[in-house]
């Protein structure tokens, strides 16, 4: 008989309460056929039902030797270890959840997965408490930046967060620090920008009230391009921009209404790359609009946000860190690390956005970056 016939007969025997016969049939099937995971899992299930957890565990591990990431096999192994009171049960549940499929779970697994999630959370909380106690002295002696990195180290170790890398779509410069949000002390001009919040907000109101101001969709690309992540927002007025400087050129229809903002930009270390930079704009996100996860073009630049109009509840995620926008509190982030944003409120959100050079680049490296990107954009050297 082939494996399917054996499974059919074994199912009938099990349904009739004859578990020894079901086990016998499945063992024969394993001996006569390739030991496929589905066959081994059937056998393990019967062995568990017979009250033979050790035999069932050995069979499940045979299945995992064939298919190490089989979700059902991993769940069964964890449940067997849990029943046996093994100290490795929590880790086994964690390994199983790591292979959870994206599709909806079959009904018979929903309760098992819920148990796994509870067990893993209890295990993680206990480990976190133990780690925090072990690191207590180091944390108390750390400065603010060190403490943030120490806490993230612990969070990564617990798998609550993970490390995100810089993944620019076009231009990757090697050796630059990969930080989701960069520390404020690297940007002494940031306080000056924040001090101009009211002035920038006044310029925003002036340009928004102007009859000939240009308000354009933030995302605009040809329909044939393979950019599915942006498709819902392509040419969509839910996410718009009032550009002051776009690809290195002032947008006079808007810039002339914002003299203080334009003067401020002259004092900032923006990347001057002919045809592509600098850039500066007011970014307007409509109510109940989400910007999907995405990455930027080049890690040679960073991006600064200065929130101007932010209803409570708006948030911004870069990598594993999510922050609220707070009016007048700027921050600098790496837009080549996956990031997204959300305005879940009934009101408009507006942020002033501009790009700057990555602080790790020397003057000669900036020149090299500008020359290469300019030439790639087909506009010649600087």
Q: Which pLDDT score is estimated for 226?
A: 46
The pLDDT, as a whole number, for residue 103 is: 87
Contact 322, 316 (CB under 8 A): yes
Rounded distance between C-alpha atoms, residue 318 and residue 315, angstroms? 10
Exposed, middle or buried: residue 280 (CB in 10 Å: 0-12, 13-18, 19+)? buried
Q: Which residues of the chain have pLDDT under 70?
A: 211-214, 217-238, 378-382
pTM of the model: 0.79
Tell me what pLDDT residue 218 has.
Answer: 56
Give the per-residue pLDDT at 38: 87
Domain residue ranges of the chain, discontinuous segments joined by +: 3-100, 181-376
Q: Please state the CATH superfamily assignment of the domain spanning residues 3-100 in this structure.
A: Tetratricopeptide repeat domain (1.25.40.10)
For 324, the token pair is 């609220």
Q: What does pLDDT average to over the chain? A: 91
CA atoms within 13 A on the CB side of 217: 13
- CATH number, domain 181-376, options 2.60.120.330, 3.30.200.20, 3.40.50.460, 3.40.50.720: 2.60.120.330
Instruction: Name, in order, each residue with C-beta under 8 angstroms of 179's C-beta and a sequence gap of 6 or more.
Output: 334
Give the CA distances from residue 186 to residues 237, 243, 311, 319, in Å, rounded to whole numbers and listed in that order.
35, 26, 29, 20
**E strand or H helix that includes residue 4:** helix 3-15
């Amino acid at each position: 008989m082939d494996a399917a016939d054996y499974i059919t007969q074994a199912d009938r025997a099990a349904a009739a309460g004859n578990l020894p016969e079901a086990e016998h049939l499945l063992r024969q099937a394993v001996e006569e056929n390739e030991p496929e995971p589905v066959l081994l899992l059937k056998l393990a299930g019967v062995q568990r039902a017979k009250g033979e957890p050790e035999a069932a565990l050995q069979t499940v591990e045979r299945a995992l030797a064939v298919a190490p990431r089989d979700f059902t096999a991993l769940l069964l192994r964890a449940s067997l270890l849990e029943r046996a009171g093994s100290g490795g049960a929590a880790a086994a549940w964690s390994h199983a959840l790591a292979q959870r499929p994206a599709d909806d779970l079959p009904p018979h697994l929903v309760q098992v997965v819920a148990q796994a999630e509870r067990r893993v959370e209890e295990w993680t909380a206990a480990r976190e408490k133990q780690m925090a106690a072990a690191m207590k002295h180091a944390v108390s002696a750390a400065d603010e930046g060190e403490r943030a990195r120490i806490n993230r180290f612990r969070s990564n170790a617990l798998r609550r967060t993970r490390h995100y890398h810089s993944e620019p779509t076009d231009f990757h410069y090697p050796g630059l620090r990969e930080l989701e949000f960069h520390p404020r002390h690297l940007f002494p001009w940031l306080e000056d920008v924040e001090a101009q919040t009211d002035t920038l907000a006044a310029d925003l109101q002036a340009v928004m009230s102007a009859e000939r101001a240009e308000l354009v969709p933030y995302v605009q690309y040809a329909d044939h391009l393979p950019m599915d992540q942006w498709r819902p927002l392509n040419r969509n007025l839910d996410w718009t921009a009032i550009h002051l400087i776009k690809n290195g050129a002032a947008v006079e229809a808007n810039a002339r209404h914002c003299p203080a903002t334009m003067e401020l930009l002259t004092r900032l270390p923006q990347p001057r790359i002919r045809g592509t930079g600098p850039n500066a704009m007011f970014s307007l996100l409509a109510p109940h609009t989400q910007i999907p996860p995405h990455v930027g073009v080049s890690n040679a630049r960073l991006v600064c946000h200065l929130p101007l109009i932010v209803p409570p509840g708006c948030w911004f995620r870069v990598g594993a860190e999510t922050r609220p926008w707070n009016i007048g509190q700027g921050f600098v982030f790496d837009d080549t690390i996956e990031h997204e944003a959300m305005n879940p409120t009934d009101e408009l959100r507006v942020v002033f956005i501009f790009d700057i050079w990555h602080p790790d680049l020397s003057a000669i490296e900036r020149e090299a970056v500008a020359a290469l990107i300019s030439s790639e954009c087909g506009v010649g050297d600087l």
